[in-house]
Structure 1
């Protein structure tokens, strides 16, 4: 079992690394669109959506300073097949 101190230390390091990564993503983010590459959904958007979901489970406010990331997630969720999957997917602990 991980100690609370170890967990909090890891979370702090993760937060610092995340800010660095997000800053870099901002430079790569689409040219005026809502997706990472151009104006269409790509694997980059799907990958970020999945990773961000896990991060949000730790801290639901972590992306509040990055409205473009929140917009990206919203645009991914609006894709018809993804919206259908999210609505009907089984609820699991992971």
Structure 2
């Protein structure tokens, strides 16, 4: 295998993909409300899950798209979400 191919393969194996998640709020004040979050995968392995970001799907869809466009990593995802919410 050529060196360039090895580098590309290594990059693809470490690249993260972020997807939207959906769940139910479990806190007493919002019990049963649908909430959205995100899950970050490296290959087929989940490396970060933030399950309750907002009850507004479109807001979290925007955040997920931003994470994928900016190639956010598992090391920075928490900071990105925190910045997005403030």
> One fold, TM greater than 0.5?
no
Larger % of strand: which?
2
The one of the two structures with greater contact order (alpha-carbon pairs below 8 A, sep at least 6) is 2
Report the TM-score, using the length of structure 2 for normalisation: 0.28
Report the TM-score, using the length of structure 1 for normalisation: 0.26
